[in-house]
Amino acid sequence: MEKNKTKLRSEEWFGQDDKMGFVHRSWLRNQGHPDHMFRGKPVIGICNTWSDLTPCNAHLRDFAGIVKRGVYEAGGFPLEFPVMSLGETIMKPTTMLWRNLVSMDVEESIRANPLDGIVLLTGCDKTTPSTIMGACSVGLPTIVVPGGPMLNGKWRGRDVGSGTLTWQLEEEMKAGAITPEDLREAESCMSRSAGHCMTMGTASSMASTVEALGLALPGASSIPAVDSRKKVMAHLSGNRIVEMVKEDLKISDILTRKAFENAIMVNSAIGGSTNVMIHLTAIAGRLGVELNIDDFDEIGSHMPLLVNLMPAGEYLMEDLFYAGGLPAVIRELRRHIHNDAITVNGKSIGENCENAPCYNREVIASIDAPFKEEAGIAVLKGNLCENGAVIKPSATDGRLLQHTGRAVVFESIEDYHERIDDPALEIDETSVMVLKGVGPVGYPGMPEVGNMGLPEKLIKKGIKDMVRISDARMSGTAYGTVVLHISPESAIGGNLALVRNGDLIELDVKGRKLTLHVSEEELAERRKQWAPPTPVADRGYVHLYINHVEQADQGCDLGFLKGGSGHQVSREPH
């Protein structure tokens, strides 16, 4: 199904019999590429987020070689290039600060080089959306190879999930139930193979989202990183991208509004991360596809929970793979999704999944007997979040979804750490914990601190959950009655900045409301006394970031990066 036979983009570099053709070819020949590689073969850029400092992507160095095999086999010419990699558990203050920087790196690296098609090797949380955003702003044929989850964590006879165990251990430490030695032992038991977090955290949610968008081969997202079938998938992706170039099947042909709606529905059905909302909105913004925060509630919140994975459930990604993987989930959703949305293999998502079997109903429920009826992310509005805030009801036990309590305010994350375990702190289980200064501008970078740990004195009383609200994000591996992404954030003067200790706050998830019960007059008075915080940087990328980052409901992209600039480059360097 070749759409056209127009000249390859790479021929602008390699197809000329003149000085610049010589220059473009000659230096590349130092790697031993024979002459026929420069004669009309689709050049495939393998964009690699491998790094020793990104543990979840450390295996991708080898995967590039496997993709290359597939590209050569299909008649293409593979060239791998590195981009900045974001290691979620290593980088400070938060990888989200650099998601947009990576997208710029990817965009400019693709456009400036002689590439006809792109393979994105991704894994850890931000490495997926950042690379896709960059690729969207260029618009070439693109396929994603998700790096795959780690094998199930195994500790003292039980399965333990990345991240989710971390939050549990933190509480057990506070309660005095485990020792520092226990903690050290648990570390290598949780992370025992290559791959990204194997809970349904942000990495697994984004990988599943990519497959639901149609950007990865069917079944690719759930295969564990160390399973030989993951290598097969990388090889086949190398094959396929060459064909996509010949068919001129561009990323914008796949990422339509229908594809985004499918991704929203699938993210609900898998109990996926709230971070997906921000990333999908940013990706859509690069393509000019209309997508707003209310779409996530309207399209996703009534979807049933079909996947029983931590943190919402009991199992892990390896179990999802053995149960049939994402195609089995998508098949269950066939009455809801747009089955005709096209995917990277040239077939529709409906065709790809129509015969996908389910092997374990404890892991993947049938649509007629879901684990929960309404599992998607709820979008809240009110005077505390005029542009929206979000909560993931499936990550709670439901008891606090309708709750009114007095605010206990922390002005910053440092303030929180300093006072949370102070025995004199006036707080009980009915209080609403409020954290300010952790939004995109305020932190900066909107870290995953929204699921503030509870005070030690309440944990010791057996309290497991409280209402927490902030302008932060939350790790997809976390749980609790946590309201996130409050927009506008406190640092730019959202009403969150005006909350004081003792104010009454009402959470009404059913009614989609978050209300600060303080009069308009009183708020106006407090606003007169409020001053914005001093900017944290007056130079460099952080300065650029805080001056241009958009709010959470708009995807946290830098405003000037929205849209794309295509792939054309008309001028030569010499």
Q: Which residues bind ligand FES (CB under 6 A)?
A: 56, 88-89, 124-125, 162, 196-197, 201, 203
For residues 518 and 464, is the Cβ–Cβ distance under 8 A? Answer: no
- Measured CA to CA, the distance from residue 348 to residue 342 in angstroms comes to 4
Distances (CA, A) of 421 to 121, 459, 470: 42, 10, 19
Select 60 or 420, whichever has its Cβ closest to ligand FES: 60
Of 392, 221, 390, whose CA–CA distance to 305 is shortest? 392
Select 125 or 211, whichever has its Cβ closest to ligand FES: 125
Select 56 or 263, whichever has its Cβ closest to ligand FES: 56
Select 54 or 343, whichever has its Cβ closest to ligand FES: 54
Give least dist CB 56 to ligand FES, A.
3
Give least dist CB 188 to ligand FES, A.
15
Number of neighbours of residue 523 by Cβ within 10 angstroms: 15
- Where do the H-state alpha helices sit in 33-112? 60-73, 99-112
CB within 8 Å of 270: residues ≥ 6 apart:
200, 204, 205, 208, 306, 307, 309, 326, 329
Show the tokens assigned to 150: 């780690």
DSSP conformational letter for 56: G
Give least dist CB 236 to ligand FES, A.
24
Select 24 or 99, whichever has its Cβ closest to ligand FES: 99
Give least dist CB 198 to ligand FES, A.
9
Number of neighbours of residue 115 by Cβ within 10 angstroms: 27
Residue at token pair 């068919």: 247
Of 370, 388, 400, whose CA–CA distance to 479 is shortest? 400
Give least dist CB 423 to ligand FES, A.
34
| Angle in degrees, CA 556, 561, 565, rounded to 5 | 150
CB within 8 Å of 534: residues ≥ 6 apart:
none
- Cis check for the bond before 311: say yes or no (omega within 30 of 0): yes
Select 261 or 448, whichever has its Cβ closest to ligand FES: 448
For residues 476 and 275, is the Cβ–Cβ distance under 8 A? Answer: yes
Q: What are phi and psi of 308, to 5 degrees?
A: -100, 65
Rounded to the nearest 10 degrees, the angle between the axes of helix 228-247 and helix 60-73 is 50
Select 88 or 553, whichever has its Cβ closest to ligand FES: 88
**What residues form DSSP beta bridges with 20?**
none
Beta strand ranges found along 36-171 (DSSP E): 43-48, 77-82, 117-122, 142-146, 153-155, 158-160
Give least dist CB 209 to ligand FES, A.
14
Give least dist CB 275 to ligand FES, A.
11
Q: Is 226 exposed, middle or buried (0-12, 13-18, 19+ CB in 10 A)?
A: middle
C-alpha count within 13 angstroms, C-beta hemisphere, residue 166: 14
Q: Is the dihedral of CA 454, 438, 102, 276 positive or negative?
A: positive
Select 91 or 425, whichever has its Cβ closest to ligand FES: 91
For residues 542 and 97, is the Cβ–Cβ distance under 8 A? Answer: yes
Give least dist CB 281 to ligand FES, A.
20
Give least dist CB 196 to ligand FES, A.
4
Cα–chain-centroid distance for residue 21? 40
Give least dist CB 87 to ligand FES, A.
7
Show the tokens assigned to 322: 């053995």
Select 199 or 394, whichever has its Cβ closest to ligand FES: 199
Give least dist CB 54 to ligand FES, A.
7
Give least dist CB 10 to ligand FES, A.
33
Select 162 or 268, whichever has its Cβ closest to ligand FES: 162
- Measured CA to CA, the distance from residue 366 to residue 305 in angstroms comes to 10
Select 125 or 489, whichever has its Cβ closest to ligand FES: 125
Select 9 or 196, whichever has its Cβ closest to ligand FES: 196
C-alpha dihedral (122, 124, 125, 129), degrees to nearest 10 = -10
Give least dist CB 107 to ligand FES, A.
23
Select 99 or 235, whichever has its Cβ closest to ligand FES: 99
